[in-house]
Amino acid sequence: MTLTNSEENYLKAIYHLSDGGKKGVSTNDIASSMKTKPASVSDMLRKLGEKEVINYRKYYGVQITEEGRNYALQVIRKHRLWEVFLVDKLKFNWDEVHEVAEQLEHVRSPLLTQRLDEFLNFPKFDPHGDPIPDEFGDVKARPRIALNDMEVNAAGQIVAVKDSSAAFLRYLDKVGAYIGARVKLLDKVEFDGSVEILVDQKTLFMSKDVASNILIVVT
């Protein structure tokens, strides 16, 4: 079975919105994610249903099938491997790679994906800290919490970001909050939820919104 690029994009969005296939997704949520109208979503859902990668029942939302989940994971695998390649080998900044990887993820060559994985020495995470599914679709996630959920005086390491928009990543570059940086939570401000943190021996103040988008492995 082969999906079109557009069908792959929808399937990937449904996978993410469904928390890896654990819950149903509404057509409105899909429309919002894909920046399109619900009527266009309905037409695409019909096509994906005919290819048996999703199930749709009124009032229960869209459920991704096991075959659909496996297909989505392979698209995600290619996307994240290409992001590693662009950052590590072509020296793109981490805020520049998403759009390019969106195009490269649709290359339909299992051998190319395998060779790319080997060339990169089998990376486990992309430049934004998201886990890379292996060739069998297995995802090795690691326990992590949002920065603003840490206890005061707790320490850890930045391992991922929830928001991978270019503007947010440029902000993190500016303040030095990169993937792999060591952090310690010094204080939480009760009034607005902002935090004071120590990043590589530098004190920073962050809003609640920023801190909630930075993921930490506590050590």
Q: What is the pTM of this model?
A: 0.87
The angle, 0 to 180 degrees and rounded to 10, between the axes of the packed helices 5-17 and 66-88 is 100
Q: What is the CA radius of gyration of the chain?
A: 19
Closest by alpha carbon to 182, among 147, 207, 151? 147
Q: Compute φ and ψ for 202, nearest 5 degrees.
A: -115, 130
Please state, for a pLDDT cut of 90, what percent of the chain lies above it.
87
Arch. (CATH architecture) of 5-64: Orthogonal Bundle (1.10)
* pLDDT tens, position by position, 65-124: 999 999 999 999 999 999 999 999 999 999 999 999 999 999 999 999 999 999 999 999
Element (H, E) at 188: strand 182-188
Where exactly are the structural domains of the chain?
Answer: 5-64, 145-218
Across the beta sheet with 214-218, what order do the strands follow?
145-146, 214-218, 155-161, 182-188, 195-199, 202-206
Please report, for residues 71, 77, 121, 122, 129, the alpha-carbon distance to residue 115 in angstroms, rounded to integers and kept in the order given. 19, 13, 10, 10, 22
The CATH architecture that domain 145-218 belongs to is Roll (2.30)
